[in-house]
Amino acid sequence: MVNHRNSFQILLLIVILMAFYRIGESQNIIIPVDIATQKANLFLEKLKIDKNIDITLKDTNPLKLIKDNKLIGYKYDLVPQGFIITSPFDLDNSIMAYSYENDFSVENEGFEISLTILEKINEVDQNSIKSNIINRSPAEEVGPLVSSLFGQVNCHDENDKIINVSNLFTPNHYAPGCVAISLATMLDYFEWPITGIGEHIDRDRAGLSKGDYKAEFDKVNYDWDNILDRYNYRNSTNEQRRALGLLAYHCAVALDMDFEYNGSSSNVNRIPSAGENYFRFYAKYASATSPIFWKTVDTNIVHGFPVVFAISAGSNAIGHSIVCDGVRIENGESTFHHLNMGWWGSSNGWYRVKTNFNAGGYNTINGGTINFFPIPEINDLNINQDSTVLTVYWRYSTILPPESFELQAKYDDGNWIAFSDTLTNDSLNISLDTFNKNIKFRIRAKFLGRYINDSWSNTMEFKKQTDSNEEISDNRSFEIFP
C-alpha cells in the first residue's frame, strides 16, 4: 500500500530545496555591465543630493576586479575624483564601497587585502534574500574625521623620488608596521600627548632585524605642528619628515614591533597598553563578535572619536590594521564605514563592512580598539608669593575637549578623595590652610557622559614642610611593561 502522506512530504521537501537552490542560484548570476552602471548611477544621484556635491562617472566601462579567477566587483572612477565599486551580482546592497575624495589603487601594497574585503562583502550579501526594496531615505555621513593620509614605505616627493618618512628612524628603514601607522594616525588626530611617559625597549628577536630598539617617550615633545597631512607626491622638509618619522618609530617600539624587510608586524590589541603606558591614552580592545562592538564603534565616531580595526583577509590570514573614522547612517542604521587604509590615502573610502559573518573561520573585521580617549596630564603645581594658595595645573588635548574634569587628592597614604568633578578649565586654586600634610593630585576627563576608572593621569605631589618650605615632586605613577 502506497503511503500518500509520506510521498507528499517528500515531494514538498524537494520543492522547498529546489526553491532555495534557485534563490542561491539567482543571487550568483553575474549581471551585465549596463545594469551595474545603472546601479552605480542611481547611488551616485542619491549621493549628490545627500552631500550636495557635483560628481559623475568618468566612463561607463568599469574595471573588473578579479581575485582567484572570480569576478569580485566593478570599479568605476569618478570625476573629479573618487570611485564606486558595485557588486557583480543582483543584490539589494549592490554598492560595496565608494569615495569622492580618494582613488582606489590597483597597484599599492594593499590591493590584495582590499579585494578580499570586497569578496567577503559579496559572500555575506549572497546569503541574504532579496527584498526588492530600494532605500531612498536621506542619509547622514559623519566623517571622515581624520585628515592625515599616512603610510609605511614607498613614499614619493613632489619629484617622484622615493623618500623615507614614517620609516625614517626604523631599523634599515623597514616599514614601521600598519599597527604603528594606525596608532600614529590616532595620536596625530588628537595632537596628543605633548610629551610621553617613560621609556621602552623593543627586544626584537625574530627575523632578519634582531636587535634592541629604544624609545624615550618622556625626552621629546612631539612636533605636531610639523606633521603634515600628506607626504606622498608632496613637497616636505627634513624637519616635517622627522616629525612623523619619530612619532611612527615611537609607536612601533611601544607596540613591540617585529621589524622585517617584507613587512613589520604587531597586533591591534596592543594599542590600549601602549596608549596608557607611553602616550597618555585610555582605550579598550573588543572583539567584533561582542554584542556592543558595532554600537560602540558608531557611538565613538558620531561623537568624533575614530577607532582602529583589526582585519584578517584570505586563507593565508593576511592581517592589517586600519583606522575607521566615518559612518553613514540610513534609517537609523549604519550602512557604510569610512576606512583610512594606511596606504598614503590610496583606497580610502566608504565600505560596507558591518557584517556578522564567519567565513573560513575568521571575520573580515576581527575586532578593534575602541573608546580611544586622551588622558590629561598634571604638569605643574605652583604656590603664590605669600604661600597661601596652591594652584594645580593640567593640560589636555584641545581637539575634542572633555566635558569636564575630576580632580582628586590623597593625603600621605590615605584614600583618594574628590576635590571636584565638575571642573571645565585647566587649573584649580586650593587654600594651603585646608591641609597640613603631604598631598598628591591626579585628574581624569569625562567623555561620552562618564568618567572611566582606569583613565587617571600621572600624579604630582606637594610636600608640606614643617619649616614652611614647601616642596613639589613629580611622581608619574605608570608601570612600564615590556
Secondary structure of the chain in HEC code, one letter for each residue: CCCHHHHHHHHHHHHHHHHHHHHHHHHCCECCHHHHHHHHHHHHHHHHHHHCCCCEECCCCCEEEEECCEEEEEEEEEECCCEEEECCECCCCCEEEEECCCCCCCCCCCHHHHHHHHHHHHHHHHCCCCCCCCCCCCEEEECCCCCCECCCCCEECCCCCEECCCCCCCHHHCCCCHHHHHHHHHHHHHCCCCECCCEEEEEECCCCCCEEEEEEHHHCECCHHHCCCECCCCCCCHHHHHHHHHHHHHHHHHCCCECCCCCCECCHHHHHHHHHHHCCEEEEEEECCCCCHHHHHHHHHHCCCCEEEEEEECCCCEEEEEEEEEEEEECCEEEEEEEECCCCCCCCEEECCCCCCCECCECCEEEEEEEEEECCEEEEEEECCCCCEEEEEEECCCCCCCCEEEEEEEECCCCCEEEEEEECCCEEEEEHHHCCCCEEEEEEEEECCEECCCCCCCEEEEECCCCCCCEEEEECCCCCCC
Q: How far apart are CA 324 and CA 293, in angstroms?
A: 13
Q: Is 16 a member of any domain?
A: no
Q: How far apart are CA 187 and CA 199, in angstroms?
A: 17
Q: How far apart are CA 260 and CA 207, in angstroms?
A: 7
Query: Which residue, 72, 99, 126, sits at the end of a domain?
Result: 99
The DSSP symbol for 332 reads T
Q: Are 83 and 148 within one domain? A: no
Q: Is 121 a member of any domain?
A: no
Is pLDDT at 64 greater than 80 in this prediction?
yes
Q: Are 307 and 171 within one domain? A: yes
- Per-residue confidence (pLDDT) for residue 138, from 0 to 100: 61
153 contacts 181 by C-beta, under 8 angstroms: no
Q: Are 359 and 381 within one domain? A: no
Q: How far apart are CA 262 and CA 101, in angstroms?
A: 29
Tens digits of residue pLDDT in 172-214: 999 999 999 999 999 999 999 999 999 999 999 888 889 999 9
Q: Is 180 a member of any domain?
A: yes
Is pLDDT at 15 greater than 90 in this prediction?
no
pTM as predicted: 0.81
Q: Is 25 a member of any domain?
A: no
Q: Is 347 a member of any domain?
A: yes
Is pLDDT at 228 greater than 90 in this prediction?
yes
Confidence of residue 88 (pLDDT cuts 50, 70, 90): confident
Q: Single out the residue of 237, 140, 254, 133 nearest to residue 187, CA to CA.
A: 254
Confidence of residue 384 (pLDDT cuts 50, 70, 90): confident
Tens digits of residue pLDDT in 105-124: 777 666 777 776 777 666 65
Integer angstrom CA distances of residue 332 from 129, 141, 177, 349, 356: 21, 12, 36, 21, 18
- Per-residue confidence (pLDDT) for residue 122, from 0 to 100: 64
- Per-residue confidence (pLDDT) for residue 391, from 0 to 100: 95
Q: What is the CATH number of the domain that holds 398?
A: 2.60.40.10
Query: Which residue, 99, 126, 153, sits at the end of a domain?
Result: 99
How many CB atoms lie under 10 A from the CB of residue 33? 15
Q: Are 370 and 230 within one domain? A: yes
Number of domains present in the structure of the chain: 3
Q: Are 92 and 199 within one domain? A: no
The least confident of 9-18, 130-139, 337-346 is 9-18
Is pLDDT at 52 greater than 90 in this prediction?
no
- Per-residue confidence (pLDDT) for residue 317, from 0 to 100: 60
Is pLDDT at 436 greater than 80 in this prediction?
no
Contacts of 200 (CB under 8 A, 6+ apart): 214, 215, 217, 253, 254, 277, 278, 480, 482
Q: Are 163 and 239 within one domain? A: yes
Confidence of residue 9 (pLDDT cuts 50, 70, 90): very low
Is pLDDT at 275 greater than 60 in this prediction?
yes
Q: Are 221 and 332 within one domain? A: yes
Q: What is the mean pLDDT of residues 231-246?
A: 98
Q: How far apart are CA 91 and CA 405, in angstroms?
A: 49
Q: Are 361 and 403 within one domain? A: no
How many CB atoms lie under 10 A from the CB of residue 196? 22
Confidence of residue 244 (pLDDT cuts 50, 70, 90): very high
Q: What is the mean pLDDT of residues 306-311?
A: 95
Question: Roughly how many angstroms between the first and final C-alpha of the chain, as a whole number?
Answer: 79
Which of the listed ranges 59-63, 276-280, 346-350 does the model predict with the highest average pLDDT?
Answer: 276-280
Tens digits of residue pLDDT in 130-179: 433 334 456 788 999 999 999 999 999 999 999 999 999 999 999 999 99
Given the DSSP bridges, would you call strands 83-86 and 281-287 parallel, antiparallel or unpaired?
A: unpaired
Confidence of residue 333 (pLDDT cuts 50, 70, 90): confident
Is pLDDT at 76 greater than 80 in this prediction?
yes
Q: Are 233 and 341 within one domain? A: yes
Q: Are 313 and 403 within one domain? A: no
Q: What is the CATH number of the domain that holds 310?
A: 3.90.70.50
Q: Is 4 a member of any domain?
A: no
Query: Which residue, 374, 401, 422, sits at the end of a domain?
Result: 374
Q: Are 91 and 221 within one domain? A: no
Domain extent at residue 155: 109-113+139-374
Q: How far apart are CA 478 and CA 196, in angstroms?
A: 11
Q: Are 285 and 210 within one domain? A: yes
Q: Is 119 a member of any domain?
A: no
Q: Is 47 a member of any domain?
A: yes
Confidence of residue 330 (pLDDT cuts 50, 70, 90): confident
Tens digits of residue pLDDT in 365-376: 889 999 999 999
- Per-residue confidence (pLDDT) for residue 314, from 0 to 100: 53
